[in-house]
């Protein structure tokens, strides 16, 4: 068959997505495979088994990133694709998984057609993309590109108090492939949009041109725990109140800065967390994102100012700890155009867009030309078991990936 006429097998792609989604399945059709948990290990084992069955040479690096290599006619830098298979605790079935299984589907399609590309093709999945258990997000790809030292990454402590290196060894994925193995010629990642744009506009493919900056921090508040009934309001030093005030401020901050600015208090823990006890401690997270680096810095500055004033006014101690900080990323113009061209050739509607979510591609962009292919998320719902993409759109994305890989590997 002429390469131009090749199409992926949509049913086979769906079957793999369903089998992976069965691991860590949660109510509502989603998945809980937090990084380096037993569920993550089971998901990894399944995908590695598929890689081997497809004839890929599997390499695992010391941070647990997994690479499946399909040899090319020449022993030159490979074209890489992939994503992640870890999820948030209330994840959907496509976030990350589509990019990895879409890559395997492309490989199987090439295998079936007997096509050997000039360049090798690598399908990768990176450790801890979500950052929900171990911060920062994109941790595995950050180490892969050399931007985070391995020892520091191995020492990251999870939200449940475990050291990353220990958990990686426990699940058997501390590999011995050299860091940065298979340095790519180019990287292209298929992912669901996770936002509302493509669905609202009825467009099948997003050619991702850029990705917004991300700033994560933990804010720990210490006050005076006391009786909720007897302590006059004027004598309170209340971490619960301070946490709520920061939550409210984040919403105001996003509204004031406008544009692409988004602010989220996604996690808050009160101690002792009882109805009639003024909390002793509160710990919360702030997630700030903006497409403009200067405005993201402004958001950070205003939050720090508010937190300082609040600590003084309420008489509490507030300590902040950075968890992740990534500047906005512009993807390679050549890869963006390749995605647009490929979508057009295959007859899919396509638009350029910005990614609101973080992705491994933004790290790979530091070492090679990189870009992304988005497919619609119904009603823009993601990080939620209800996350959904129509099977025809999943297949369209995988077909664009297949042909983008073919061109990059030619
Ligand atoms: C990763 O999913 C992110 O938080 O953008
Ligand atoms: Mn993802
Ligand atoms: Mn995600």
Residue ranges of domains in the chain: 3-211+328-408, 213-326
- Look at residue 217 and give its three-state secondary structure: strand
Ligand 1 atom with the smallest distance to the CA of 356 is 5
pLDDT one digit per residue (tens) for the chain, 410 residues = 788 999 999 999 999 999 999 999 999 999 999 999 999 999 999 999 999 999 999 999 999 999 999 999 999 999 999 999 999 999 999 999 999 999 999 999 999 999 999 999 999 999 999 999 999 999 999 999 999 999 999 999 999 999 999 999 999 999 999 999 999 999 999 999 999 999 999 999 999 999 999 999 999 999 999 999 999 999 999 999 999 999 999 999 999 999 999 999 999 999 999 999 999 999 999 999 999 999 999 999 999 999 999 999 999 999 999 999 999 999 999 999 999 999 999 999 999 999 999 999 999 999 999 999 999 999 999 999 999 999 999 999 999 999 999 999 99
Ligand 1 atom with the smallest distance to the CA of 95 is 2
Testing ligand 1's pocket by substitution, the residue of 139, 213, 359, 377 carrying the most ligand atoms inside 8 A of its CB is 359
Residue 267's closest CA among 289, 249, 295, 246? 246
- Give residue 119 CA to ligand 2 midpoint distance, Å: 26
Is the pTM of the predicted complex or chain greater than 0.95? Answer: yes
Ligand 1 atom with the smallest distance to the CA of 132 is 4
List the residue whose alpha carbon is closest to atom 2 of ligand 1: 130
Give the rounded distance of the alpha carbon of 114 from its chain centre.
33
Q: From the options 1.10.10.10, 3.40.47.10, 3.30.70.360, 3.40.1110.10, give the CATH code of 213-326.
A: 3.30.70.360
Residue 158 contacts residue 267 (beta carbons within 8 Å)? no
Q: Which residues line ligand 1 (CB under 6 A)?
A: 130, 137, 357-358
Q: State residue 45's pLDDT score.
A: 99
- Give residue 359 CA to ligand 1 midpoint distance, Å: 7
Residue 187's closest CA among 384, 332, 344, 342? 332
- Give residue 234 CA to ligand 2 midpoint distance, Å: 46
Residue 208's closest CA among 78, 337, 316? 337
Distance, in Å, from the CA atom of 88 to the CA atom of 100, rounded to the nearest integer, reads 17
Query: Distance between terminal CA atoms of the chain?
Result: 16
Residue 282's closest CA among 217, 241, 221? 221
Testing ligand 1's pocket by substitution, the residue of 30, 130, 290 carrying the most ligand atoms inside 8 A of its CB is 130
Ligand 1 atom with the smallest distance to the CA of 137 is 1
Measure Cα distances from 108 to 100, 286, 300 in Å: 13, 42, 46
Could you say which DSSP state residue 378 is in? G
Residue 119: burial class (beta carbons within 10 Å; 0-12, 13-18, 19+): buried
User: Half-sphere exposure of 120 toward its Cβ, with a 13 Å CA cutoff?
Assistant: 19
Distance, in Å, from the CA atom of 65 to the CA atom of 60, rounded to the nearest integer, reads 6
Residue 208's closest CA among 333, 295, 380? 333
Q: Which ligand is nearest to the CA of 216?
A: 1
Residue 132 contacts residue 51 (beta carbons within 8 Å)? no
- Give residue 358 CA to ligand 1 midpoint distance, Å: 5
- Please list the residues that pair with 319 across neighbouring strands: 220
User: Half-sphere exposure of 409 toward its Cβ, with a 13 Å CA cutoff?
Assistant: 32
Measure Cα distances from 46 to 19, 40, 67, 174, 268 in Å: 9, 10, 14, 17, 34
- Give residue 316 CA to ligand 3 midpoint distance, Å: 34
The CATH code of the domain at 3-211+328-408 is 3.40.630.10
Q: What are phi and psi for residue 405, nearest 5 degrees? A: -65, -45
């Amino acid at each position: 068959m002429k390469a131009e006429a090749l199409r992926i097998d949509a049913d086979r792609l769906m079957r793999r997505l369903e089998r992976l989604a069965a691991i860590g399945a949660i109510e509502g059709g989603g998945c809980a495979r937090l990084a380096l948990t037993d569920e993550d290990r089971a998901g990894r084992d399944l995908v590695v088994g598929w890689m081997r069955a497809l004839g890929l040479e599997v390499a695992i690096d010391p941070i647990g990133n997994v690479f499946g290599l399909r040899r090319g006619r020449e022993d030159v830098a490979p074209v890489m694709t992939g994503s992640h298979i870890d999820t948030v605790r209330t994840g959907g079935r496509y976030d990350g998984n589509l990019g990895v299984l879409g890559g395997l589907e492309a490989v199987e399609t090439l295998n079936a057609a007997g096509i050997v590309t000039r360049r090798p093709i690598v399908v990768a999945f990176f450790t801890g993309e979500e950052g929900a258990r171990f911060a920062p997000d994109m941790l595995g790809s950050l180490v892969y590109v050399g931007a985070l030292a391995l020892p520091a990454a191995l020492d990251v402590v999870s939200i449940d108090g475990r050291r990353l290196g220990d958990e990686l060894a426990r699940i058997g994925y501390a590999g011995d492939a050299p860091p940065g193995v298979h340095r790519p010629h180019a990287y292209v990642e298929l992912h669901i949009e996770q936002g509302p744009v493509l669905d609202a506009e009825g467009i099948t493919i997003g050619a991702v041109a850029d990705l917004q900056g991300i700033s994560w921090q933990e804010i720990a508040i210490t006050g005076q725990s006391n009786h909720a009934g007897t302590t006059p309001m004027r004598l309170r030093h209340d971490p619960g109140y301070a946490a709520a005030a920061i939550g409210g401020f984040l919403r105001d901050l996003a509204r004031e800065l406008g544009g692409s600015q988004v602010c989220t208090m996604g996690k808050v823990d009160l101690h002792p967390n009882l109805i009639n006890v003024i909390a002793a401690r509160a710990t919360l997270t702030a997630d700030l994102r903006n497409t403009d680096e200067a405005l993201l810095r402004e958001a950070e500055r205003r939050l720090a100012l508010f937190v300082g004033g609040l600590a003084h006014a309420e008489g509490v101690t507030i300590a902040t700890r950075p968890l992740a900080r990534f500047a906005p990323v512009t993807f390679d113009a050549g890869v963006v155009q390749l995605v647009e061209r490929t979508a057009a050739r295959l007859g899919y509607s396509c638009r350029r867009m910005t990614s609101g979510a973080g992705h491994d591609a933004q790290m790979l962009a530091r070492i090679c030309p990189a870009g992304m292919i988005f497919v619609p998320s119904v009603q823009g719902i993601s990080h939620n078991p209800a996350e959904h993409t129509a099977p025809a759109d999943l297949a369209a994305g995988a077909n664009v990936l297949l042909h983008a890989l073919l061109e990059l590997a030619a």
